[in-house]
A and B are shown apart, each in its own frame.
Chain A
Amino acid sequence: MIVDFRPHARLRGRAPVDLDKAVTPVVAALSAEEADLGRIRVVCDWVQYRENFRDVVDFRPIMADSPGTDENLEIAVDVRRSQDVALRELTIRQLHDDVVGRVFLEDWVPGRDSRIWDFNALYWSALECWEKSTGRGYEQALPGGESDARNRETVRELISELFGMWQPLAVSGALPEELYVIELGVGDGNQAKVFLDEFRDLDRTGGHDYYRRLHYLMCDYSQHVLDLAQETVVEHSEHVSSFAVDATKVRATLGFLRHKVFLVYISNVYDNLPTDEVAQLAGRSYLVEVRAYLPADSAAFIAESVSADPHELPALVHKLLRLGPVLLTEAASSHFTDIDAAVEFWRQIWSSLRLQERYVPLGGLDNYQLAPSINGEIVRSLLESGSDIRMQVNNGAVASFVDCLALLHPLGKLVCHDLFVTELPDYRTSFRGPGKYDGSVVNWVNGQLLAQVGQREGFEVRYAPFSHRNGGNIVTMTAVARD
């Protein structure tokens, strides 16, 4: 049996984790139940998200390569919550098949295809309903209470860099007439407004005449969000265009800008795009498959609150995700008297939602399509970088990144503020998602993978702590053409 205690740092400090409490009850339960200990690995994480998709103890089958071969088993313990529960009893219950009574909302799927991403999409499309229900805006739910892209000093630095790049091009006659800037994920438009205000002011001060040539493209998944954002930047309307864009398929809409864009500006988007997780365990590569479910007691409680049986919940959830809370009141009026009731149902389901996981062998990395133009070979060196590892591959972010790089002018730059894992060993010591941020999903972004992808596309990718806020986890990624 292997015991992999990942959050080493928690063993020291002012309030160290009690290793006895975190691990011993699990091992004792397994010993008492005569489980095949040679086929078991116990992994301990510190799940920092108060709202997440895990139970204190989760069992994860490690599927065999071929029929007739026995499965192995991973037992995952959330150390943060394990200290104050009857861990031994929880483990024994799981050993005796505690899945009875769970209400599954989907069949086994790769992480990126899970229902949780439908919830995520619903959050952004019905944000107004959610915010009304919780009484706070989504930006207040962010760690700093404000999107990082609004920091004026950061924006001014970016614009100054652009002007510095354009000046020699203008002198040599190589500066295009149209100067394109793209913002991906526009929120309420204030990020764009800050950029445009500062751009106009710095242009006036410098006497460049760049503002007249500027085309600022606001891109967002939601037309509704874009409409609101347009109102925010109305004084710059001659220089702003809006595009409803799926962040993972940027080129489908903006392909006409190939090699023309000087700046792609992204803030807190990548951590919110669908992702798979892959793992290397005992020299073999696995894809993590998941199955969203509601625990039995939660399902019973929620079902009763909407005058339904637990077995009706998957259909109601499906309707919620397809129609949104407003139309749900019409489609299932016997369960929801008004929109508030539908939103409450949504919030309760979301809060209770868990993910069951299993490891499925990857037949060959090249058979695993990570993004439209990238197969799993790109992660080989990361997976084979040492001892066992499990990590996000951020399929949505990688697809978005590759598409955006293709739009960049030869001297263009991509700037992205997000939650990045910049060092591979961090995956062996820290839990990096998925977690719940308000009504959305959050996964840290695999910085080493994006660096590798960028390198293969001809870019140098650098990471630095976000320089205009002390503390916090936000990292700034920049990508510029290399060589």
Chain B
Amino acid sequence: MAAGELCSDGPVLLPTTVVGSYPVPEWLERLKTDYHRGRMSFGQLNDIHDVVIKAALHDQTLAGIDIVSDGELRRDNDIDYFLARMPGITIPNPAKAFYFDYYTADLDGTLPGSYTDPPLRLADDFAFTARNTSTPIKFSFTGPFSLARRVRNHRFGSDRDLVLAIARLLNAEAHALAQRGARFLQIDEPFLAGCPEEVGTAIEAVNLVTDGVEVTWALHVCYGNRYARPRREGHYDFLFPAVLDAAVDQLVLEFARKGYEDLPVLAKFGWDRDVGLGVVDVKSDEVESPELVAVRIRSALELVPAQRLVINPDCGLRHLAGSVARAKLAAMVKGAAIVRAELTPMLARESSSVAIAPDSVI
């Protein structure tokens, strides 16, 4: 199912969504760090997470986002939330000087081949979000390739085996998510751009994650956004042709910061599924105007049909100030609306001319 068809009021052309993370204000950073230093209990921090997730949902709704996320606000970063709960993984030093730091994670035990009770409990997180919004939800989680990159592998013979084992675990999580009502799941691979030679393994693992889970699947690959910095400078051609074999419905890519020169790569290699088009630079505090967003969407339309475009920021909004993120989302929604208004009459004309054509032939 295309992402636009998930919208509650019927199919939406150029649906707007987010990639996943939402700004973490300084006070929340301090509280999260306090937790890691033993100055706050887990229960207290969990309460705070509940509150900030509700606020993030509210912000997105006010901005007019069609498909919202929980902002990944329970997670310290893109890795630790998953690894710390994974069977077989040990965290030698669970204290942190700063909450955003990565844990050191060791694989000392075994990752089971199957799961009756998925250990990451991502479905519980989704259920909380679903209880607090009536807007369609995208639920994102870090993919097996990137998670494996942060594990010191003392167990498996090869890193590929570790990647695939994590993929099987995430597949169990995905099944649980779908059972609890998730309809749109996204796999994030933030480390993939730094290892272009391993894209084949990453895609093989993606297909294990999505296997048998009947939802709309997106795969997000950017050039890195940790501390709002790219991990690599290059081009998306490294994804191809391997990504054509990925069992996903949508590629969510970064364009606003780097420019749209990479967009033809998708057409060149025959990507015929949806594209999550990054139209907002999340590494810059400068707020784009709706007109600029519209220009970016129009330029993409020269290569990708409107029905296959989903409008989103380049990546997660975590590193932006809240006020900047809200302004960027509002601009994104307005920019999409501008182009949508231009397209709707044209599409109507096209559909009516298609309807007339048989008669004229006769």
**B49 interface residue (CB < 8 Å to A):** no
Q: How far is the CA of A381 from the CA of B234 in the complex (A)?
A: 38
B196 touching A172, Cβ below 8 Å: yes
Least CB distance, A373 to chain B, in whole angstroms: 9
Q: Nearest chain-A residue to B27 (Cβ)? A: A366
One digit per residue, 1 when the CB lies within 8 angstroms of any chain B CB and 0 when it does not, for chain A 395-428 equals: 0000000000000011000000000000000000
Q: How far apart are the CA atoms of A172 and B224 in the complex, in Å? A: 18
- Residue B30 is within 8 A (CB to CB) of chain A in the complex: yes
Interface residues of B in 175-195 (CB under 8 A from A): none
Q: Are A455 and B233 in contact (CB under 8 A)?
A: no
Given known A-B contacts A174-B234, A377-B26, A377-B30, A458 and B98 have beta carbons under 8 A apart: no
Contact indicator per residue, chain A 439-472, by CB within 8 Å of chain B (1) or not (0): 0000000000000000111110000000000000
Kindly supply a per-residue 1/0 record for chain A positions 163-190, scoring 1 wherever the CB is within 8 Å of any chain B CB and 0 otherwise: 0000000001110100000000000000
Give min CB distance, A55 to chain B, whole Å. 40
Chain A positions 359-383 with a Cβ under 8 Å from a chain B Cβ:
366, 377, 381
Q: Given the complex of chains A and B, what is the CA–CA distance between A74 and B230 in angstroms?
A: 48
Whose C-beta in chain B lies nearest to the C-beta of A455?
Answer: B98
Name B's interface SS.
loop
In the complex, chain B residues whose CB is within 8 Å of the CB of A483:
102, 226
CB < 8 Å neighbour of A456 from B224, B227, B230 = B227
Instruction: Return chain A residues, CB-CB under 8 Å to B230.
Output: 259, 410
> Is B228 a contact of A458 with CB atoms below 8 Å?
yes
- Residue from A381, A410, A458 within 8 A of B232 (CB atoms): A410
Asked whether any CB of chain B lies closer than 8 Å to the CB of A481, the reply is: yes
Across the interface, name the chain A residue whose C-beta is closest to B232. A410
A481 to B229, CA, bound (A): 9
Q: Is B231 an interface residue (CB 8 A)?
A: yes
With A366-B26, A377-B26, A377-B30 given, is the CB distance from A458 to B226 under 8 Å? Answer: yes
Report Cα–Cα, A178/B226, bound state, in Å: 25
User: Would you give the shortest CB distance from B142 to chain A, in whole angstroms?
Assistant: 14
In angstroms, how far is the closest chain A Cβ from the Cβ of B282? Answer: 14
Q: Which residues of B contact A366 (CB under 8 A)?
A: 26
Chain A contacts of B234 at CB under 8 A? 172-174
- Determine the distance from Cα of A283 to Cα of B179 in the docked complex, in whole angstroms: 54
Chain B 228-258, CB-CB to A under 8 Å as 1, else 0, gives: 1111111000000000000000000000000
Instruction: Give bound CA distance, A128 to B74, whole Å.
Output: 60
Most chain B beta carbons < 10 A, residue from A259, A366, A381: A259
The answer to whether A409 and B98 have CB atoms under 8 Å apart is no
Contact B233 A457 (CB under 8 A): no
Given contacts A172-B196, A455-B98, contact A410 B229 (CB under 8 A): yes
* Chain B residue nearest to A408 in the complex (CB): B229
A410 touches B98 (CB 8 A): no
Smallest distance from the beta carbon of B37 to chain A beta carbons, Å?
10
Contact code string B89-115 (vs A, CB < 8 Å = 1, else 0): 000000001100010000000000000
B196/A410 in contact, CB under 8 A: no
The A/B interface has a contact count, at CB < 8 Å, of 36
Q: Chain A nearest CB: distance from B24 CB in Å?
A: 12
Q: How far is the CB of B23 from chain A (nearest CB, A)?
A: 15
Known: A456-B98, A458-B226. A174 touches B232 (CB 8 A): yes
Q: How far is the CA of A452 from the CA of B224 in the complex (A)?
A: 21
- Give the chain A neighbours of B226 by CB distance below 8 A: 458, 483
Residues of A within 8 A of B231 (CB): 410, 481
- CB pair B26–A458 under 8 Å, yes or no, is no
* A481 neighbours in B (Cβ, 8 Å): 229, 231
Instruction: Kindly list chain A residues whose C-beta atoms are within 8 Å of the C-beta of B229.
Output: 259, 410, 457-458, 481
B-side contacts of A410, CB under 8 Å: 223-224, 229-233
CA distance A366 to B98 in the complex (A): 17
Could you say which residues of chain A place their CB within 8 Å of the CB of B227?
Answer: 456-459
CA–CA, A410 and B98, complex, Å? 22
Chain B window 63-104, contacts with chain A (Cβ cutoff 8 Å), 1 for yes, 0 for no: 000000000000000000000000000000000011000100
Give the CA-CA distance A377 to B102 in the complex, in Å.
Answer: 21
Return A414 CB to nearest CB of chain B, in Å.
13
**B residues within 8 A CB of A409?**
233
Bound CA span A18–B223, Å: 62
* Residues of B with C-beta under 8 A to A259: 229-230, 233
Expressed in whole angstroms, the Cα–Cα distance for A456 and B227 within the complex equals 7
What A residues does B102 contact at CB under 8 A?
Answer: 483
A264 smallest CB distance to B (angstroms): 14
Q: Complex formed: what's the CA distance from A173 to B196 in Å?
A: 11
Is B26 within 8 A of A176, CB to CB? no
The reply to whether B233 and A174 contact each other, CB–CB distance below 8 Å, is: yes
Closest Cβ of chain A to B131, distance in Å, is 34
Chain B residues contacting A455 (CB-CB under 8 Å) are 98
A226 to chain B, nearest CB (A): 29
Closest beta carbon of chain A to B223's beta carbon, Å: 8
Jot down 13 A-B pairs with beta carbons below 8 A, ordered by A.
A172-B196, A174-B232, A174-B233, A377-B30, A381-B97, A410-B231, A410-B232, A456-B98, A457-B227, A459-B227, A481-B229, A481-B231, A483-B226
Chain B interfacial positions (CB closer than 8 Å to A): 26, 30, 97-98, 102, 196, 223-224, 226-234
Give the interface of A toward B (CB within 8 A): 172-174, 176, 259, 366, 377, 381, 409-410, 455-459, 481, 483
Task: List 11 other contacts, CB 8 Å, given A174-B233, A410-B229, A456-B227.
Answer: A172-B196, A173-B234, A176-B233, A259-B230, A366-B26, A409-B233, A410-B230, A457-B227, A458-B226, A458-B227, A481-B231
- Which 3 pairs from chain A and chain B are nearest by CB? A458-B227, A174-B234, A458-B229
